Amino acid sequence: HRSLERPLFVEEFNAPGDWKGEVAGGVARAAPSPGSPVDALHLLSSKPIFSIPIRGRFEFVYRAPQGGELLVQLHTTDPAQNFDHPLRLAPAADWKTAAIDFDAFVPADPNDRGRRLKPGRGIDHLQMLFTPGPKGGAFWVDAIRAVESRP
């Protein structure tokens, strides 16, 4: 028995939209950040992109041929706070799917480490920060979903 799912946010990069990064041909590439070793793909909105569900996850389909470190960051409103989840990406030329439970995100501020993303909080900024491995490389995203799971 699999729980029911409801998409809260879906992005398939069919148009550039408000994303900061390189979006073309149905995929997005994290763009170099001036003066930083990090490549970034991010979306900033004046209103919430989605709200955190009671149960759910953040999913994305990616490709990172040389591998590297990825930091997924969600910014909540009211109060303003960043929540992070780091991932180590092994080199892979094929598209892969990653899923992160919303409960796995932790506050970026070490002073807030006991807090968790609370259901109902709006996400108005989504960042994917990629640090390439020693051989360099790029980080591509084909699709992003925020999903609510229902028992």
pLDDT digits over 75-108, tens only? Answer: 987 778 999 999 999 888 899 999 999 999 999 9
**pLDDT < 50 stretches in the chain:** none
| CB neighbours of residue 56 within 10 Å | 24
What pLDDT is attached to residue 1?
Answer: 54
- pLDDT the model gives residue 87: 96
In the block, residue with structure tokens 């807090």: 115
Q: What are phi and psi of 106, to 5 degrees?
A: -120, 155
Assess contact for 93 and 65: CB atoms under 8 A: yes
What confidence score (pLDDT) does residue 117 get? 87
Residue 110's pLDDT is what? 86
Instruction: For residues 88 and 85, give the distance between their C-alpha atoms in angstroms, rounded to a whole number.
Output: 10
Confirm whether pTM is higher than 0.75.
Answer: yes
Supply the DSSP symbol for 117: P
pLDDT at 112: 82
Q: In this structure, how many other beta carbons lie within 10 angstroms of the beta carbon of residue 141?
A: 24
Provide the pLDDT for residue 115.
Answer: 82
Could you say which DSSP state residue 151 is in? -
**pLDDT recorded at residue 73:** 96
**In this predicted structure, what is the pLDDT of residue 2?**
62
Amino acid 52: pLDDT: 93
